[in-house]
Every structure is written in C-alpha cells, then in structure tokens.
Amino acid sequence: MAQAKAKASNKKKDLGYLANLTKGFIKENPIFTFMLGLCPALAVTGTVETALGMGILVIFVLVSSNIVVSLIKGFIPPEVKIPSYIVIISTFVTIVGLLTEAYAPALHESLGIFIPLIVVNCLILGRAESFASKNNILNSAIDGLGMGLGFLGAMVLIGFFREFFATGALAYGVYLPLGVEGSIVNLEWYLLSIAVFSGPAGGFLVIGLLLGLFNGISIMKRNKKERERQKMIEEKKRIALERKRQKAMESAGGNA
C-alpha cells in the first residue's frame, strides 16, 4: 500500500519535472510570449547557424547560473541580490566567451558584441530572480534547460525564415564546427530571394509576422472553444426545457 503510494507520488513528481521542462517550449516561450531577450533574437538570427550557436551559449549560461543561484540562495542578503546574480551570470558569460573564441572562432567572430551582451539578456536574470532563487537545484537546472530550449527553438525558427527568404538556402554560412560544409538545403531560388530579410529590417518584420501568426492561431482556438461552449449551453438549455415540458405534460395528464 505504502509502496503504491510512493510510486504514485513518484510518478506525480516525474510529471512535474516534465511539465517544468516543457513549459518554456510554447506556453511560456521567452521570446514569443514574454518578449524577453529580443536583442539577440533580432541581431544574430540572420542565419540558422548563428541563431543555433547563440541558443546553445544561452542554454549553457542559463543552466549553470540557475544551478549556482539556487545553490547559494540562502547566503545572499536580499539587498545585494541583483548585483550578485549579475556577477554570477557574467562569470559564466566570460567562460563561454573564452571557450567559443578557442573552439569556434567563426561563431565568435559572427556573434561579436552579442556574446558579452548575454549578461544583460533579461531572460537569464529573470529566471534567476523568479525561479532559481526559490527552488531546489534539480528543478532550477531543469527550468533553465527548458527555458533555454524554448529560446533556442524560437531563435532557430526566426533564423530559418530569415535565411531562407534572404538566400533561398539553409546553413549557407558555416559557423559551427559541426563538420557540415556548404548549404544543407539549396533550392537555387536566388532570383526570388529578398535580401532585406538578412538585414536589420528583416529581423523586425519576421518576428512581427510570426507573432501575428501565433496570435491569430490562439485567437482562432479561443473562438472555436467559445463556440463549442455556446453550443453546449444551448444543448443543455434545450434538454432542460424538454424535461420541463415533459413534466408539465405528465402533471397535466395526471390531473386529467
């Protein structure tokens, strides 16, 4: 009995971890729902690979800073909370910057100033403040991983559209040491390509259009639910009315 109970609670906990991991993917997506970390989302999404590289760096910094913040959450006096978080985050950003400079110099070159600027990405400070400072280590690490993956997914989505519209190809520039040479998908659409999308304006346009699309989908879903609810209410009303009528008939019949 006790074993079964423990098993059930264990299962519940697992579900909790899973929900903790996946909440950042769509429901609480940092870029498309909270508009956090827009600067890198606009600046380094010109190609899929730079977007992917930035996402990986952000995941690393987010997970490690979440772990450290939740480790020392009891020792930090509340007055100096934010400065100490910033020091922790910037330490990891410096580590990441030096590592990319050593092992992925092309990526370091193309991300440029946006590697030190990971420090002021509101997403990382926000997760440290609102989640890691209140939860245990495992949960904080999972939360960091989930949020980071959501960020990475959104970045790659934006990068995909921008690169595809601008060049008609994918993975055109090789920045990550993945062993892939040249473009993965090339439809030779260079005559139809729109160069604006690789420029600054394209970033704003693509994020705006994607946001509008997602809003439209969620509004359509909401309307559909609303219509179904309305239908159900009408159905119930009809049934109740019918019942009433039947009862009235019965009582009238009884009287007669």
Partner 1 sequence: MSWTVFFVAIFSSMLINNVVLIRFLGVCPFIGVSKKTTSAVGMSVAVMFVMVIASLVSYLLYYLVLVPLNIEYVQTIAFVLIIASLVQLVEMFIKKASKKLYKSLGVYLPLITTNCAILGVAVANISEDFAAQYGTFPGLAVAVTTAFGAALGFGLIMLAFSTIRERLEAATIPEAWKGVPVALITAGIMALAFAGLGGIV
Residues that bind partner 1 (CB under 8 A): 35-36, 38-39, 42-43, 82-83, 86-87, 90-91, 93-94, 97-98, 113, 116-117, 119-122, 125, 196, 199-205, 207-209, 211-213, 215-216, 219
Two tokens, residue 252? 């009238």
**Comparing C-alpha atoms, which of 109, 93, 92 is closest to residue 101?**
109
CB 155 within 8 A of CB 52: yes
Two tokens, residue 227? 């219509």
- Residue whose CB is less far from partner 1, 67 or 129: 129
Residue corresponding to tokens 């991983």: 145
Helices then strands, counting H and E runs in the chain, come out as: 8, 0
- Residue whose CB is less far from partner 1, 16 or 200: 200
One-letter amino acid at 230 equals Q
Helix, strand or coil, per DSSP, at residue 169: strand
Residue corresponding to tokens 């705006």: 208
Minimum CB separation from partner 1 for residue 174, in Å? 23
**Contacts (Cβ under 8 Å, ≥6 apart) of 166:** 46, 193, 194, 195, 196, 197, 198, 202
Minimum CB separation from partner 1 for residue 233, in Å? 23
* Phi, psi of 3, rounded to the nearest 5 degrees: -60, -45
- Residue whose CB is less far from partner 1, 78 or 253: 78
Minimum CB separation from partner 1 for residue 71, in Å? 19
**Comparing C-alpha atoms, which of 93, 95, 158, 151 is closest to residue 127?**
151
- Residue whose CB is less far from partner 1, 40 or 148: 40
Minimum CB separation from partner 1 for residue 111, in Å? 12
- Residue whose CB is less far from partner 1, 221 or 238: 221
- Residue whose CB is less far from partner 1, 106 or 122: 122
The rounded distance, in Å, linking the Cα atoms of 227 and 215 is: 18
- Residue whose CB is less far from partner 1, 86 or 170: 86
Helix, strand or coil, per DSSP, at residue 141: helix
Minimum CB separation from partner 1 for residue 36, in Å? 8
Minimum CB separation from partner 1 for residue 205, in Å? 4
Minimum CB separation from partner 1 for residue 37, in Å? 8
